[in-house]
Structure formats: C-alpha cells, structure tokens
Amino acid sequence: MSGLFISFEGGDGAGKTTQLAHLAEWVAQATGREVVRTFEPGGTELGRTLRQVLLHGSDIDARTEALLFAADRAHHVASLVRPALERGAVVLTDRYLDSSVAYQGGGRELSAEQVEELSLFATDHLLPDVTVLLDLDPAHLPQRLTHDPDRLERAGGEFHTRTRQAFLDRAAQDPQRWLVLDASRSVEELAAATRARVAPLLGISPEAGRHAESAPERTRGTTTRGEGDR
C-alpha cells in the first residue's frame, strides 16, 4: 500500500478533531496529495447506525460494546480506509483501534490483549503509520465538552482515568508509532509538533507549504468527513 495512515487518539474533548483538521489542511497544501479525513465510530453509512446505537442507545454490556466497535471498524477499513490507502491517499482518522484497547480494554476492564486481537481481526492487521495521542487529564473533561454527554462520556471519572492510563501504557510500548502530546498546550504548538513528526514520512520539511496556510475549514483535494457527518 502506498498511502500514509495516521490516527488521532485521546480522551473526549482533547482536541483531536481540531488537530486532524490542521494536519489535513497542511498535508494537502504542502504535498498536493489526496487527503481523506474520517473517524470512528461512524465513518461509513453502516457505521452511522452503529454509532447511534453505541453512543445514544440503551445500555450495552462490555463485550457487545467491544464487538460493535470492532464491526464498525471492520467495515470502515474494508470500505473506506484500505481503498484510500491503495490509491495512495493520506488517510487521517479521528480514533481507531487504540480507542477500543483503551476504552473497552482499560475503561471497561475487558482484557486489553483480547480487545486488541478482536480489532486486529476486524482490520486484518492494518495499523496506523503514526498515532498522535492528545493526552489530557480527565479532570478537564467537563470544561471542554460542548455537547450533551454520550454513553461513554457519562461513564464516570475512574473509567476515564483507566482509559487515559491504557492509552499512555500502549504508547510507551511502541514509541516508533506513537507521538504523545500534552493536550493542554496551544493548538499551534500541537499542530507544529504533529507536522514535525509526519513531515519526514511525506519526504518534506515541517515548514513546507506554511506560507499558504489558511483556516482548516475547506481544503482543495481534501475529502472532508467529520463534524457534519456525526
């Protein structure tokens, strides 16, 4: 596969979507490559139904929840992510399989190994080239949320502390893939650190295309999926 696959991970309200938009804008301008923005759960039509059940449905037991996230991911990879990578696109996803290991493995206290195995089955072992973790103390969650909390966001302080720790543990195991950033830093500092990590993989300088940068709302050559679709 000739594309580049980058995931953004972190707790709710850590600023992943903003950072993803900045990176998408910059990659498109600096390289002219096709950039595909997507997200989990719900980056596909089937996924939107699963997302509704997962985030806004009635109570679901932990194993069912893990299987539904894995089903969303399997379809997302098969129908959208893998074809885009095969076309040579740069694919940026707001959450991917590490969210399952952290939330269902850590937060819900299923076995992290089993949840990872399930996700690797779902994706046929497709892992991101880079994963950016926006690490935020869950104590900051209430100030950052701008919408009514969903089923996962309502899960409680200890759940979110376990989830955060699971992300950090996982990142420490594979520093080659992970870039861990303190999400309380400024948007521009975080964007610059992300560009610095990704630029060598694109064969460009982190400063490439910077003079032309504008607001990350609309980007030529960028397939925008995200906010409006959720």
Interface residues toward ligand TYD, by CB under 6 A = 12, 16, 40-41, 55, 69, 94-95, 99-100, 103-104, 150, 152-153
Least Å from the CB of residue 175 to ligand TYD:
22
CB of 228 to ligand TYD, least distance (A): 13
- Shortest Å, Cβ 195 to ligand TYD: 21
Minimum distance, C-beta of residue 191 to ligand TYD, in the bound complex (Å): 18
Task: Compute the least distance from the CB of residue 184 to ligand TYD, in Å.
Answer: 16
Residue 102 near residue 153, CB atoms below 8 Å: no
Given the complex with ligand TYD, which of 26 and 39 has the nearer CB atom?
39
- Which of residues 26 and 167 has its CB atom nearest to ligand TYD in the complex? 167
For residues 52 and 205, which CB has a smaller minimum distance to ligand TYD in the complex?
52
Name the closest residue to ligand TYD (Cβ).
103
Nearer to ligand TYD, 144 or 210 (CB): 144
CB nearer to ligand TYD: pick between 74 and 208: 74
- Tokens 């707790």 map to which residue? 11
